[in-house]
Amino acid sequence: MLHNLSIRQLREQLDNKKVSAVELAQHFLDRATAHADLNAFIRRDPEVTLVQARAADEAMAHNQSGALTGIPIAHKDLFVTTDFATTAGSKILAQYISPFDATVVARLKNAGAVTLGKLNMDEFAMGSSNEHSHYGAVKNPWDTTRVSGGSSGGSACAVAAGLTVGATGTDTGGSIRQPASFTGITGIKPTYGRVSRYGMIAYASSLDQAGPMARTAEDCAILLNAMHGFDERDSTSMARDSEDFTRLLGQKFSNEASESQPLKGLRIGIPSEFYGAGLDAEVKQTTLAAIQQFEQLGATLVDVHLPKTELSIPTYYVIAPAEASSNLSRFDGVRYGYRAEQYTDLEDMYRKSRSEGFGWEVKKRIMIGTYVLSHGYYDAYYLQAQRLRRMIAQDYQDALAQCDVIMGPVAPTTAWRMGEKSDDPVQMYLEDVYTLSLNLAGLPGMSVPCGFSSTGLPIGLQIIGHYFDEARLLQIAHAYQNASDWHTRRPTVAQ
């Protein structure tokens, strides 16, 4: 079945003329229609998609194809696009059409990828369950009574269910890695500044980072090849040479490595703070079993410490809302987006447009952010959080000085039932305890499928690396996926 093939396998199908880009796009459009109940897509336009597919077929007919020409993908609705409305999962941006494409969208389009549509998400990327979307919750394809994770839940669901081959996501505090873990796919958050944020609607500017989500590490590497690179329009973009993130796939980690132990020489740091109270027993057992398999592939384990792991939660939930309160002030009903129908003056229009246009979770974080930035609280909360941020980043530097990568769980639990944590936001915030610190430090990390719970829910392994070491992370994940089959498992809807 076409929807169970990887990007590389589909490339072979296209190059050998066993399928056309139009046929491939139509196959995925039909699947999205058939499984609309998952609520993964916010917006699709078959006419736009098929125009792009026909252009890809034309390019291939003239031998002008690349790795992604004709490959169907979809974008998280946080990336602005000229061909589809962009809403960030919010009522306040309903029907907004951007006059330009986000850099990530433009680069993938220039690489020949065919866009299937825009994917559902937590409103303005604020959430861990994809229950905070104006367009409704996204269902987990492994168990539709459970959440798909957030905020890139639509992207994760669409890939896992075989509605797209790959998708873009964003990660502010774990929003690529956690939904990837909950749905049994692979996702990577690159180093901060590796992928342009231009045209990506901002939640917390110093934390947001775009990345690919797909079934395999190899597919993520192919997508990242097209997505990354310096962008002068993004002041946070890092001026580094372009890389081929597939270059290390299949290679041995060191000169000591062999066919049976391709990762010999790899040092894996195991932070005790990731395996303490609050971690579900099955998640702990599954991730440790995966790490044992890495040992069989030649790796050695090193005990490391990240003592301020728990402090990452209060640190994040001061810094991120503070930046959000500033970033979201532009959505006021004046220039674009939702405007209240009845108001008495300009101030009343602001108040009613924002009150009616934003959802509860967004309004809550705006209020928190405004509070911590206000006179008398800035020093006590925001500056203190920034000091802790530097200390958390230093903890990672100290740990990574002793090892090549750090491994642990992505989330303390598997996907929970819809509505289960809605009345207790603190419990939902605690679900990000293993992912938040990575964004505070700006390091790259990824989630790789490593097993299932006794109830059949996917569990992901988190791999954390040095700055700009994405190629190594992908190499290590690829070696694990060559030795395991967790990433090949499919929910019923994708079989």
Enter the tokens of residue 321.
Answer: 């809302």
Options 20, 148, 151, 353, the catalytic residue: 151
First to last CA, the chain: 8
Enter the tokens of residue 181.
Answer: 């873990």
Tell me the CB-side half-sphere exposure of residue 100, using CA atoms within 13 A: 9
Enter the tokens of residue 414.
Answer: 């598997």
Residue type, 283: V
Active site residue 76: yes
Give the whole-angstrom CA distance, residue 108 versus residue 103.
9
Buried b (16+ CB within 10 A) or exposed e, 23-42: ebbbbbbebbeebeebbbbb
Give the whole-angstrom CA distance, residue 61 versus residue 58.
5
Is beta strand 300-304 parallel, antiparallel or unpaired with respect to 267-271?
A: parallel
**Ramachandran class of 265: left when φ > 0, alpha when ψ lies in -120 to 50, beta otherwise:** left
How long, in residues, is the chain? 495
Residue type, 29: L
Options 175, 196, 353, 453, the catalytic residue: 175
**Nearest one of 2, 149, 219, 119 to 458, comparing CA atoms:** 149
For 95, 128, 413, the CA distances from 277, given in Å and listed in that order, are: 45, 20, 12
Angle, helices 360-372 vs 312-327, to 10°: value is 100
Options 20, 76, 109, 148, the catalytic residue: 76
Enter the tokens of residue 320.
Answer: 């991120």
**Nearest one of 178, 75, 184, 77 to 129, comparing CA atoms:** 178
Q: What is the DSSP letter of 138?
A: P
Q: What is the DSSP letter of 79?
A: B
**Which residues are bridge partners to 79 per DSSP?**
200
Active site residue 151: yes
Is beta strand 267-271 parallel, antiparallel or unpaired with respect to 41-43?
A: unpaired
Give the whole-angstrom CA distance, residue 336 versus residue 12.
44
Q: At a CB cut-off of 8 Å and minimum separation 6, what does 451 contact? A: 286, 287, 289, 290, 458, 459, 486
Local structure of 212: helix, strand or coil: strand
**Within 10 Å of residue 50's Cβ, how many Cβ atoms?**
16
**Which residues are bridge partners to 41 per DSSP?**
119
Give the whole-angstrom CA distance, residue 274 versus residue 303.
11
The catalytic residues are 76, 151, 175
